[in-house]
Amino acid sequence: MPDNFRSHVVTQGVQRSPNRAMLRAVGFGDNDFLKAIVGIANSYSTITPCNMGINQLAQRAEAGIRAAGAMPQMFGTITISDGISMGTEGMKYSLVSREVIADSIETACTGQSMDGVLAIGGCDKNMPGAMIAIARMNIPAIFVYGGTIKPGHHNGRDLTIVSAFEAVGEYSAGRIPYEELLEVERKACPGAGSCGGMYTANTMSSAFEAMGMSLPYSSTMAAEDAEKADSTEKSAFVLVEAIRKQLLPRQILTRKAFENAISVIMAVGGSTNAVLHLLAIAHTAGVELTLDDFETIRARVPVLCDLKPSGQFVATDLHRAGGIPQVMKMLLVHDLLHGDALTITGQTIAEVLADVPAEPRPDQFVIHPWDKPIYPQGHLAILRGNLATEGAVAKITGVKKPVITGPARVFESEEACLDAILAGKIVAGDVVVIRYEGPKGGPGMREMLAPTSAIIGAGLGDSVGLITDGRFSGGTYGMVVGHVAPEAAVGGTIALVQEGDIITIDAPQRLLQLHVSDEELRSRRQNWQPRPPRYTKGVLAKYAKLVSSSSVGAVTDLDL
């Protein structure tokens, strides 16, 4: 039986002679028109180290697809470097790029009637962007992670890009000389690959492996290691077989798969951005998922891995210690993973993990034994209160003061806040409020790695709280609360906070409360006026018009 389940509409019949003529120009021969046409969504670019090694992987995928008896068609998609755009106006385009990536993959694959797609991504939004497209199209698909960067080294410690952000705060606080800052800058990023801790890229690659949409062990491989290219070629063979069996993404992206992903994210100490992205993917896949589901799973899953940003190790250390399969097996044997969930290989999760030991090796220190977790419960908590009636997301583990009550220091932008921190105007006990940085208000929901890292670098990480309707980088840690919803731009309570108001962040009670009377808030709300749009043309204007609340994933097709 031919494998061209979808592509036959452009390759078969006398009337398609012109179509075949075009395909012959790109390498098709007489015997190729009954084969599956497989797209390779290639996010290669030299914009960022995260993606600069991807073209070689795409070429291995191309060879694998041909060897498996299908016809590859490679096309490009974009990326934005969060690390390079961080702290600038350009960061507003980062979350927007998730939608652009999804739309571009859908456009190419559907417009060309492809039979399947192998998507390769590196930087943060490549992964959720690709998975949104995969869920939307529901054609056989596999995701290949471009791989993690290896750590830099300086004075006997491992460095990541977050080391450079924190060094800025240390230098500004007078804690290190400029020469030390420069050495950290020079050594933080030694080569190709996505940021090396359990930041957003490695979090999402781990989630996709847990969901069964990527091959086992692939999510923690280093970009520059040979096994990453070998795994990419193997992924091509697996995808072609999935096309022949018509194994579709929505058969894999079930409620059980999302619960597995959340459990793994909690166990590895993953990024707050995973909440936003998994909500968006679930929406596209037609799976019911809410913020409350994250809280339910958080309460029963321990943090098992000692990984940066708040821990010691990086993703390559996790890989050597057994990778995501080792973490998954521990969850499985303790009934915290759905073993009957399907994977792209055609096997169930339990079958994939059959030969993985139930406990980690004793000669490694990255993955803790089950009876000695880093923390007994997960680290990503959903906070609510009058400041976040729709919810907010916080990392609550590893902070010395899990409850902070203090005066609000209000800033209307990330830049204004960073200037105040670096000038020494933020002191212990303050609760920093950064608003009008939400999905609509930014627009684009910028990450706040620059101010949070500056707070850490200044030695205030355990004594200053920070709340925002924007996002945080996967590299952020400390008493910080993001994704505050409703956001300021739509009149959320965060828009009504005034300088000096008392705010409580209570992690154990999962509370975010503004200590202002309901009567006073009603008065302030009557006097509040929405701000005019910051952009009236182009992609940011379109995004602001369409985007939903962060509490439902900041999707752009909620009401369409």
Q: Tokens representing 244?
A: 């022949």
Q: Rg of the Cα trace of the chain? A: 23
Instruction: Return the sign of the alpha-carbon dihedral for residues 276, 88, 82, 399.
Output: negative
Phi, psi of 153 (to 5 degrees): -140, 140
Omega before 309 within 30 of 0, i.e. cis? yes
Q: Tokens representing 514?
A: 């503004």
Catalytic residue among 205, 473, 549, 551: 473
Q: How far apart are the first and last CA of the chain?
A: 38
The alpha carbon torsion through 230, 235, 240, 244 (nearest 10 deg) reads 130
* Nearest Cα to Cα of residue 195 among 236, 235, 171, 165: 165
Q: Tokens representing 542?
A: 């379109």
Q: Which residues pair with 76 in a beta bridge?
A: 42
Which helix or strand (DSSP H or E) is residue 394 part of? strand 388-395
* Nearest Cα to Cα of residue 126 among 195, 190, 217: 195
- Residue 413 to residue 396: CA distance in whole angstroms: 24
- Residue 193 to residue 216: CA distance in whole angstroms: 19
* Nearest Cα to Cα of residue 33 among 22, 21, 46, 20: 20
Residue with tokens 């419960």: 377
The CA–CA distances, whole Å, from 138 to 109, 117, 242, 278, 426 equal 11, 10, 12, 17, 49
Q: Tokens representing 115?
A: 């039979």
Beta carbons of 38 and 114 less than 8 angstroms apart: yes
Residue 172 designated active-site? no
- Residue 69 to residue 131: CA distance in whole angstroms: 25
Burial of 1 per CB tally in 10 Å (0-12, 13-18, 19+): exposed
**Residue 359 three-state SS:** coil
Q: Tokens representing 458?
A: 């200044």
Q: Which residues are catalytic?
A: 473
